[in-house]
Amino acid sequence: MLSLQMNLCSYSSLLSKRMVKCQWNFKCYSISPSSLFSSNTNTTTIRAFASSCQQLNGASSISVAGPHNPLSPISGSMEQVMVEYLFGRKKATEVAHYVWKHVVKKGDAVVDATCGNGYDTLALLKLVADETQRGRVYGMDVQKIALESTSSLLDQFASPDEKELVELFVMSHSQMEDIVPNDVAVRLVAFNLGYLPGGDKKVITRSETTVLALEAAKRILAPGGLISIVTYVGHPGGREEFEKIEDFASRLPIESWNCCKLHTVNRPLAPMLIFLFKR
């Protein structure tokens, strides 16, 4: 998977500033790196459509692996979630989702820099989707298995109209500027770092590309927007990545950025929450 990432990066470099998008088909998982790209300079929107879209209602009747029930990704009150988090009864990712709810509006454009199993992508989609069909979620991951999971989750919990708003790319988050059109004001860029839950733990986000991705996110983010980061220190390279991120955040000027960190200090391997608000 790492070699795939390298291939993609090299290929992307060759294509220079062309937008590189992959044609995604829910029914066709055997996409080779070379088939991911079109030599056509026009952008081809890549959306995941299921052959059958299940519209499920009633959270209690289904069981979905993940940090929380994706059917109601951001319900309840932030008040409750913050206190539950402080009491150690809610996860960092859930706090992140509640913060997003207060930043992202219907019709906004947002970026999921690390799709993983798609829970963040779905949560973001629910925040931007409305009948105007103006919202956009640009999602990416270096692993195609991650985008398969994301696609599958969207098939289950997003309507066909909602899915029209999502574009998924097999690529490194450091190249997000290649896929977000220049005239799009991005309200939020979400990072959930580390390895793919349930996937190959050797395939991790790397501090070098993560910092490049943060630099890119900083450039495309609109004023009033948010870079949201959940970072982990429990795996090899995780501590270094966190320190690089913290260093990046600490250098942002207070006049134009407010950078907050939330952390459980007596759980050394607990995820860190870092929010970078652009004023």
Residue from 55, 61, 87, 223 that binds its own copies (CB under 8 A)? Answer: 87
Which residues are 276's β-sheet partners?
227, 259
Q: Which of 201, 233, 180 is nearest to 2 (CA)?
A: 201
Question: At its nearest, how many Å lie between its own copies and the CB of residue 115?
Answer: 24
Question: At its nearest, how many Å lie between its own copies and the CB of residue 206?
Answer: 21
What residues from 191 to 220 belong to the interface with its own copies (CB under 8 A)? Answer: none
What is the Cα–Cα distance from 71 to 63, expressed in whole angstroms? 10
Question: At its nearest, how many Å lie between its own copies and the CB of residue 242?
Answer: 11
Our finding on whether 74 is near its own copies (CB under 8 A) is no
The answer to whether residues 279 and 258 touch, using CB atoms and an 8 Å cutoff, is yes
What residues from 217 to 276 belong to the interface with its own copies (CB under 8 A)? Answer: 246, 249-254, 257-268, 274-275
What is the Cα–Cα distance from 124 to 126, expressed in whole angstroms? 5
Our finding on whether 88 is near its own copies (CB under 8 A) is yes
Q: How far apart are the first and last CA of the chain?
A: 37
What is the Cα–Cα distance from 268 to 184, expressed in whole angstroms? 39
Chain-centre distance for alpha carbon 279: 22
Question: At its nearest, how many Å lie between its own copies and the CB of residue 139?
Answer: 24
Residue from 31, 82, 184, 212 that binds its own copies (CB under 8 A)? Answer: 82
- Which residues, other chains included, contact 79 with Cβ-Cβ below 8 Å and sequence gap of 6+? none
Residue from 24, 85, 232, 242 that binds its own copies (CB under 8 A)? Answer: 85
Our finding on whether 182 is near its own copies (CB under 8 A) is no
Instruction: Give the interface with its own copies as residue ranges (CB under 8 A).
Output: 77-79, 82-83, 85-88, 98-99, 102-103, 246, 249-254, 257-268, 274-275, 277, 279
